[in-house]
Chain A
């Protein structure tokens, strides 16, 4: 087990350097001069320009710049945005917002998919099961921004149940509408996983044994069926949590949520190199760690799985 974790963490090292190098190279290729952008509309003198350029090592070749950047990262310094804030401060402000959104969305997805998936499996082949599958297909194929707009139009503009955008007020209670949309966009896959998993478990010997022992359905279902069916849904939801932490850009953009995705997107439009690279670096670390946790979860939930 420990050896497995160690090997996985060692494998992270090349992935970390590879992805930061890749994103750094892409930002390096971005058009526009970041130093000129720093000065705004007033053009600076050549001497000042050269000084600032040297201060940020921008006169150095690409790999040397990358080296200095990595040096900063390992000392906990992510650089500064064009508006002069440190990237660390921006992350500290935006990551909790995205975290709240992700937790809510995953909670909704998880509960809904377990309930509906189980009911659907128990009623396999009946009308309600077919309706469920069709609805899940529609959720699966509707792009997230379309879902966002429909939710915004129906529930915020027409019915007035929620505010159309989130903005500065972004506590738990303010994030319901985007969280529901995100949860529903992930719901379809989880629900189908749950349905398939319950169907598989219902055919297992231990379920037949439980029934033949005379146990009532309300005892067999939660203890013998659900507990064994939850594993794929839990791991899928955990993976989705990692995806949401880094990839809720579109939802955050439409609902104007000041989370990491939205901030990164705005930074990209402004060609803010340091912000982009640092955010993506943090994303890669988060994403990879969540995936490691997911792989370890398998073993925790299913004792039959052994790590070698």
Chain B
């Protein structure tokens, strides 16, 4: 942020209450709106072109997931002709055909829904568990902290792709968006919990928390209405990055053959199917990989930009 853009700060030293109306305070902002972490971050973000580029990519992918027929009228499953096997681009089929003669572009468009829904749901599950566990551990401390932190360590120490593979094997009959998200989010929450716990420990020391206690608020009420809202900034960053992680995990599990079965379309599955004809038709593997990479890239860039915007130190040194 340029130096001149900072709101003016006037320091008034408290000497004696000569004039009753003047509040005896130190360092008050007298002009402009009160500063606020979220508003500063937004102010910083909206003038970064990368932010708008990533937002645009996310918006397009989201639109694909919600309304695929807006992008293509070719069916990804029903109009497959073996005559088109591994065929090159044709009018109306810009990316060519897969091994089974399906339109690659249509399959990419329809695959966005699986990626985004698993990514979103696993992020909600993972961040939700991480938030509750981290907040309780950090805020209440004591034996609850020890217990929850050890539980977190247990989940942290099991490699989560392997754990998800085992979970998906256990629930082999019920492979759907929900079980998949549970398998991913249920094992990915430990790092979120650690960050939330550290942040809660920091906020708990703040003076407004002491003030709330002095005012007679209940402990839980203070947690939900004063501590948590002030500890949410890192969670937003982690959630954006978890979205990228969830999308990768879905594609990886599907690629390994423990993803959703049936005729669910997924980029991971297209990549997995295409590996058999990698030597003769690399393009049917490359295109879904590009779609996957760009989507993940957009979420990672968003996460990093938001992190930089939320961190005043990073903002100053940039």
Q: Which residues of A contact B (CB under 8 A)?
A: 11, 14-15, 18-19, 22-23, 26-27, 29-31, 137-138, 140-146, 149-150, 152-153, 157, 199, 243, 246-247, 249-250, 253-254, 261, 264-265, 268-269, 271, 276, 280, 283-284, 287-288
Contact = CB atoms under 8 A, between A and B. Distances in A.
Interface in B222-252: 244, 248, 251-252
Contacts of B51: none
Interface string B275-310: 100110010011001001110110011000000000
B292 A22 contact: no
Contacts of A18: 150-151, 153-154
A254 B289 CA distance: 15
B150 A11 contact: yes
B161 A247 contact: yes
A287 to B, nearest CB: 5
B256 interface: yes
Contact of A141 (B252, B255, B293): B293
Nearest to A142: B293
A27 B162 contact: no
Given A14-B150, A15-B154, A18-B150, A149 B289 contact: yes
A263 B205 CA distance: 49
B157 A287 contact: yes
28 contacts: A14-B154, A15-B150, A15-B153, A18-B154, A19-B154, A22-B155, A22-B158, A26-B163, A26-B170, A30-B169, A137-B300, A141-B244, A143-B251, A143-B289, A145-B255, A145-B271, A146-B289, A150-B286, A152-B278, A153-B278, A243-B159, A247-B162, A254-B275, A271-B169, A280-B162, A283-B159, A284-B157, A287-B159
B275 A149 contact: yes
Contacts of B252: 143-145, 250
B166 A23 contact: yes
Interface of B: 150-151, 153-155, 157-159, 161-163, 165-167, 169-170, 172-173, 244, 248, 251-252, 255-258, 271, 275, 278-279, 282, 285-286, 289, 292-294, 296-297, 300-301, 317
A224 to B, nearest CB: 20
A283 B158 contact: yes
B156 to A, nearest CB: 9
Given A31-B170, A137-B301, A287-B157, A246 B256 contact: no
Contacts of B248: 143
Identify the 4 closest CB pairs spanning chains A and B, nearest first. A18-B154, A141-B297, A141-B296, A146-B289
A30 B169 CA distance: 7
A149 B288 CA distance: 12
Contacts of A280: 158, 162
Contacts of A149: 271, 275, 278, 285, 289
B201 to A, nearest CB: 16
A19 to B, nearest CB: 5
A262 to B, nearest CB: 11
Contacts of B162: 246-247, 249, 261, 264-265, 268, 280, 283
B170 A30 contact: yes
A167 B296 CA distance: 31
B271 A146 contact: yes
A73 to B, nearest CB: 16
B159 A26 contact: no
B256 A284 contact: no
Nearest to A153: B282
Contact of B256 (A15, A19, A250, A271): A250
B170 A265 contact: no
- Listed residue (B153, B161, B279, B294) with the most chain A CB atoms within 10 angstroms of its CB: B153
A141 B289 CA distance: 11
Nearest to B158: A19
Given A15-B150, A149-B275, A250-B252, A31 B297 contact: no
Given A141-B293, A141-B296, 20 more contacts: A19-B155, A23-B158, A30-B169, A138-B293, A140-B297, A143-B252, A144-B252, A145-B252, A145-B255, A149-B275, A157-B278, A247-B159, A261-B162, A265-B162, A268-B169, A269-B169, A276-B166, A283-B157, A284-B157, A287-B159
Contacts of B167: 26
A254 B293 CA distance: 19
